Amino acid sequence: MRLGPIVAKTVMYLFLILIAITCLVPFYSMFITSTHANSDIARSLLFWPGDQFMENYNRLIETVNIWRGFANTIFITVAFTCLNLYFAALAGYGFSKYNFKYRGGLFLFVLGTMMIPGQLGIIGFYKLMNALNMLNTYWPLILTGIRDAFGIFLMKQIADSSVPNEIIESGRIDGYGELSIFHKLILPLMAPGLATLGIFSFIGKWNDFLTPMIILFDNDLQTLPVMIASVKSQFSSDFGAQYVGIVISVVPILIFFSIMSKRIISGVAAGAVKG
């Protein structure tokens, strides 16, 4: 029996286990820290669970309406992600399969916007929202999902590689309109790419801190990251309560990621079997 393949496989598995542990350590530390008092958190690095989770949670809900912020963030993030996925897929499909004047230049312009940090336009964005009377509303946080240069680029690449022109032509022969072809034939083929973009979009909007802090003035409208950052005592930050808030905010991300990652894997597996 040859030992070479066995040793190589053992080393590979050990390396993967090490990477998995490295990825899980921050989550473990976050959960453990949320169960300790502020004095313990400030004094030492914690490895074992404590008994202060409920005390930290009680201080958290006394300071901010954390579950209202949770509901606000869910609503904003889901609405933003749905808009982002639909319009990114629509624009990416258009750039991929339709020949129109200045297509190349327009696509390069879209890619060029990715090079500009979003923070540079925050003042102009604030003034525009003020002119449109959208300050202190959720519209600026949701409608921005319509434009996403990275999403358009990703969906164009997906359409180039996974959407055959023959399917589009067959849909036209069967009498489908262009939007019907997109909805009934194209979107299912782009599902793995949509799941990938959905993960980025959901996590990015869920963790968005700057835009809600600038646009929203009413505390009851604020999102979870802003509420967690505002958890402070009279003289210092309440780290125990903040870590409990972080734990609450991380759970939906983990659930969404697990659902979408399965969708990606199933799509890849289906494509492999088809090939």
Report the alpha-carbon distance of residue 273 to residue 275 in Å, rounded. 5
Return the pLDDT at 233.
55
pLDDT one-digit tens code per residue, 127-171: 999 999 999 999 999 999 998 899 999 999 999 888 888 999 999
pLDDT one-digit tens code per residue, 143-152: 999 988 999 9
What CATH class does 64-230 carry?
mainly alpha
3-class SS at 135? coil
- To which H or E segment does residue 267 belong? helix 239-274
Counting DSSP H helices and E strands in the chain, the numbers are: 15, 0
Q: What percent of the chain shows pLDDT beyond 90?
A: 34
Report the alpha-carbon distance of residue 190 to residue 186 in Å, rounded. 6
Provide the whole-model pTM.
0.85
Q: Degrees (nearest 5) of the Cα angle 114, 102, 90?
A: 60
Return the pLDDT at 88.
94
Report the alpha-carbon distance of residue 100 to residue 104 in Å, rounded. 9
Q: What is the mean pLDDT of the chain?
A: 86
Q: Which residues of the chain have pLDDT under 50?
A: 268-275
3-class SS at 237? strand
Spans of all domains in the chain? 64-230
Print burial letters for 82-121: b (CB count within 10 Å at least 16), e (below 16).
ebbbbbbbbbbbbbbbeeeeeeeeebeebeeeeeeeeeee
